[in-house]
Amino acid sequence: MTVPILRQLADLHAKTSEWTRAGEVIGVVPTMGALHQGHLSLVEAAKAECDRVIVTIFVNPKQFNNPEDLAKYPRTEADDAVKLEPYGVDAIYVPEPDQIYPAGFATNVSVAGLTDVMEGEFRPGHFDGVATVVAKLFLQTRANRAYFGEKDYQQLMVVRRMARDLDIPTEVIGCPTVREASGLAMSSRNLRLSPEGLEVAAHLNAAMRSVAEALGRGEAFDEVAKHACAGLLEAGFSEVEYLDLRSAASLKPLGRASEPARLFAAALVEGIRLIDNIEVPAA
Active site residues: 39
Angle at CA 17, nearest 5°, toward 14 and 22? 130
What's the closest the beta carbon of residue 267 comes to ligand PAF, in angstroms? 19
Reported as type and span, the H/E element at residue 161 is: helix 153-165
C-alpha 256: how far from chain center: 26
What's the closest the beta carbon of residue 203 comes to ligand PAF, in angstroms? 23
Nearer to ligand PAF, 150 or 241 (CB): 150
DSSP summary character for residue 167: T
What's the closest the beta carbon of residue 218 comes to ligand PAF, in angstroms? 35
Asked if 178 contacts 186 with a C-beta cutoff of 8 angstroms, the reply is: yes
Would strands 5-6 and 91-93 be described as parallel, antiparallel, or unpaired?
A: parallel
What's the closest the beta carbon of residue 73 comes to ligand PAF, in angstroms? 10
Half-sphere exposure of 275 (CA within 13 A, CB side): 17
Would you say the C-alpha torsion 275, 47, 36, 109 has a positive or negative sign? Answer: negative
Nearer to ligand PAF, 63 or 277 (CB): 63
Question: First-to-last CA distance in the chain?
Answer: 50
Nearer to ligand PAF, 133 or 211 (CB): 133
How long is the chain? 283
Nearer to ligand PAF, 96 or 213 (CB): 96
Judged by the rule CB under 6 A, the positions of this chain that interact with ligand PAF are 30-32, 60, 63, 130, 133-134, 152, 155
